[in-house]
Amino acid sequence: MAIIDGRKIAGEILDALKLRTKPEKFFGAALVGDDSASLSFLRQKEKAAKALGIDFRLYKLAADMTTDELRRKIGRLAGASTCGGFIVQLPLPGHINRRYVLNAVPAPKDVDVLSEPSRRAFAVGKNPILPPAVAAADEIMRRQGKRLSELSVAVIGAGFLVGGPIRVWLEPRIKKLHAFDEHTENLQDKLAEADFVISGAGSPKLFRAKHLKKGAVVIDFGSGLLDGRVAGDFDPEGSEAKDVAYTPTPGGTGPILVAKLFENFYTLNPSA
């Protein structure tokens, strides 16, 4: 059993960025409403920006803005010539058209790869950066020393941020892709042949080591509250006996996602 230390990996990514020329443009982020979890995520990004000396600007916007008002506001903020990257923290209030608002972020500044132009370019291998979840999964898989073309990978969830883009990226690169979602029956019984399990279901303790093959690797993006505590999709009980390596929750994929976001920011703002 090996716990994959996401904080250590993220630290190494950020240390490597410190050796590169720092972008002079600012990194902008919009928070619509006052969701405490979203604000916590943004504070983690703000902390990473401070470590890198990046000008990070957080814009707190009213939750009752209309879709058109929010799109115009995001367009003005992200369109500033001094802005080098911009994110819209998800989720957005239920009355907002997410796609319409995210498309207000220009592709050259779309560090999250969430606008339709960026997603289309990514799907055909033409985008200069990867979605952070894809980049994080790639980082972890490479560090495990496995050859992608030989792997059988199970992806749990087809979400906008994790499962969807990871499936698109993996399918042409691996030996076999097993795609599961909330409609999959007897999910746990279908994980035993996967070398890697990548989960973004957000369903605490959805599966355990006993459901996996010996030596499997779990990359867990999912998280939720269980008995008042944050827990991942993967329950690590029994991991040692099955020699399963996994990312813990918290401290696993989260820090790597943040580091990859800033790696994207540097890539989109290369030094002259």
Is the separation of the CB atoms in 225 and 215 below 8 Å? no
For residue range 122-149, list pLDDT tens digits in order.
999 999 999 999 999 999 999 999 899 9
Q: What is the pTM of this model?
A: 0.97
Question: Encoding tokens for residue 188?
Answer: 């746990």
Residue 271 has pLDDT above 90, yes or no: no
pLDDT mean over 212-239: 95
Q: How far is CA 49 from the centre of its chain?
A: 17
Q: Could you tell me if 191 and 206 are in contact, meaning their C-beta atoms sit under 8 angstroms apart? A: no
Is the pLDDT at 177 greater than 90, yes or no?
A: yes
For 1, half-sphere exposure in the C-beta direction (CA atoms, 13 angstrom radius) is: 13
To which H or E segment does residue 86 belong? strand 83-88
pLDDT tens by residue, 18-54: 999 999 999 999 999 999 889 999 999 999 999 999 9
Counting residues of the chain whose pLDDT is more than 70, the rounded percentage is: 99
Computed over its alpha carbons, how large is the radius of gyration of the chain?
19
- The span from the CA of 219 to the CA of 191, in Å, is 13
Pairing of strands 152-156, 196-199: parallel
Cα separation, 163 vs 95, whole angstroms: 24
Taken in order of first residue, the domains within the chain and their CATH numbers are 20-108 (3.40.50.10860), 132-253 (3.40.50.720)
**Residue that has been written with the tokens 């890539």 in this structure:** 267
At 272 the pLDDT is 56
For residues 47 and 17, the answer to whether their CB atoms sit within 8 Å is no
